[in-house]
Homo-oligomer: A and B are copies of this chain.
């Protein structure tokens, strides 16, 4: 993974002319100007603060090969992949780098490392793929004798595959593609596909209460967790793997979403499914976002939702069409088709079905009848297949936009159906207003991507010309305005990005003072020295 962005070197995104035109016209960005990140050798790192005794203690537990204080390792573990993370890293600021990166090989080693660090007052930051977009893996250096980034990639086992019960125990450090490859060998799939899939891990998904692109069908990660193994400074919390229980509060749900502040999730027993025989994705159009939302609601409440359900608002549809542009002739034909049917300027939706072939066809027909009844126009398989081909492209595109001086960030929420269109308008307006007032007018795109009987998620992407002088002030103003609009408008501060550092200021409004006290009580018991991922989840 690039230290300053997404993916690996050599991966190059090319923006089509239509997209460049849109950036110029809507945002006032000069598409010719490019500014890349500083060179690796220019990155500024704080001195590593680890004494010889501590270092040899870490080496004793994890092995000399798995303890690194090398420059590149520290830089790679200095931050996640949020917009402010990337802005800082690209400018050469790695002041948050850990003192050392340790890669334990087993839950037992994790336990020994946590004890060692707790005794020495050294902070520990569990690190999976490092793809957090909310400041979830950035070390906090102040107040600790040192900081260890605990890289979990060696916890990569796949055990206890139970094809009858459809469960499997996965190591926390397994990356998405490898997890799916190994499950596929058993004829199974987890089906958990966040946009970060290529670079995120099982442990990260569980720690952040993640949702994937197919979670409407396959279920959020919290619905997929059958059992857990959490290693804490105070010992191990082993949730038994069970389909259901009424034996008191569900402690699994206290671990899912705990973001490393209680301990290290070392493995998870997850509910898997047979590999689908068929995947069928298709596009639909609605005349407006409100019309599409209503059609999605009726479909979901009828129990007829596909596995993937996405509905873009008008702005996102317009940008998606610009990005997908295949030349003026083809664009004109598509626009004419939509205009003739009264769908010009409307919204595109992607629906995807996975499963046995007969089953997929049956579900597709029922869903199609409901979507058509809700005003939808079927666009065929091409938009669906195009979406599938580019489903993980967003973060790569972001690097290209950053190079061109564009502020680009995403944020997400969920609320009940009766409030969905209202919240969409409120957040959109907050971003337009705040960025417009700064003289950097915004493009605000949004899609609905996860459906529940009672409501749905909203996922916003916003773009503006980056303020060269104070890009982080600009970002902070926009983020705060959107977050305030979300909380005032009845949404949750995060539907699947988690809390990290960036959402922590809104946790009091989210769970109340007593809710925070409950989380602190749990942390106090499991992590009495307060070394686990400081500064995350709980407001300071």
Contact = CB atoms under 8 A, between A and B. Distances in A.
Interface string A30-73: 00000000000000000000000000000000000000000000
29 contacts: A165-B419, A167-B416, A208-B246, A211-B246, A226-B416, A237-B515, A242-B415, A242-B416, A243-B414, A243-B452, A243-B453, A244-B414, A245-B492, A245-B510, A246-B495, A248-B258, A248-B498, A248-B511, A250-B256, A250-B257, A251-B511, A251-B519, A253-B254, A271-B454, A273-B453, A302-B359, A514-B526, A520-B525, A521-B522
Nearest to A412: B246
A287 interface: no
Contacts of A303: 355, 359
A3 to B, nearest CB: 26
B521 A232 contact: no
Contacts of A238: 512
A355 to B, nearest CB: 8
Interface string A454-498: 111100000000000000000000000000000000001111111
A319 to B, nearest CB: 25
B518 A251 contact: yes
Nearest to A452: B243
B249 A254 contact: yes
A424 interface: no
Given A249-B258, A418-B165, A521-B522, A455 B234 contact: no
Contact of A247 (B232, B246, B416, B492): B492
A407 B356 CA distance: 49
A62 to B, nearest CB: 23
Nearest to A254: B249
A227 to B, nearest CB: 10
A453 B225 CA distance: 12
Give chain A's interface residue range (CB within 8 Å of chain B): 35 or more
A90 interface: no
B494 A301 contact: no
Given A236-B514, A416-B162, A249 B245 contact: no
A5 B454 CA distance: 39
A248 B259 contact: yes
Contacts of A375: none
Interface in A341-376: 355, 359
A494 B246 contact: yes
A504 to B, nearest CB: 9
B209 A246 contact: yes
Given A209-B245, A246-B495, 12 more contacts: A162-B418, A208-B246, A209-B248, A210-B246, A242-B415, A246-B497, A248-B507, A249-B253, A250-B254, A250-B256, A251-B511, A273-B453
Contacts of A456: 243
Contacts of A511: 239-240, 247-248, 251
Contacts of A240: 492, 510-511
A299 interface: no
